């Protein structure tokens, strides 16, 4: 390898590092934060009967959180169903080891 290719590889690694650190990582944190907030609102509404619209007062007609989160319930219900099935699948294999 000559010096030019080593410098190119080092510069590419540095660019990829900064790209991940300053662009991709904050976007992933933002997405996980929004997903966590939606799941928390869904759990509060679905299991505890909590309504955020009562705290918004007159702004509730513009920002209807109850209706907005309700429209994402199919995604959250599928995720909960998948996690439940995964745990039952793992429990099945932990109780029934394969014959050797």
- pLDDT tier at 8, thresholds 50, 70, 90: very high
37-59 pLDDT, tens digit per residue, is 878 887 887 788 887 777 777 77
11-46 pLDDT, tens digit per residue, is 999 999 999 889 999 999 998 988 888 788 878 877
Helix, strand or coil for residue 1? coil
DSSP character string of 32-81: HHHHHHHHHHHHHHHHH---SHHHHGGGGGT--HHHHHHTTHHHHHHHHH
């Amino acid at each position: 390898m000559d010096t030019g290719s080593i410098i190119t590889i080092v510069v590419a690694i540095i660019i990829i590092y900064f790209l991940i650190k300053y662009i991709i990582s904050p976007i992933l944190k933002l997405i996980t934060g929004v997903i966590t907030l939606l799941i928390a609102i869904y759990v509060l509404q679905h299991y505890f009967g909590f309504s955020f619209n009562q705290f918004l007062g007159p702004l509730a007609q513009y920002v209807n959180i109850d209706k907005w989160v309700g429209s994402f319930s199919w995604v959250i219900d599928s995720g909960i169903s998948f996690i439940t099935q995964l745990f039952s699948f793992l429990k099945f294999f932990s109780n029934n080891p394969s014959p050797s």
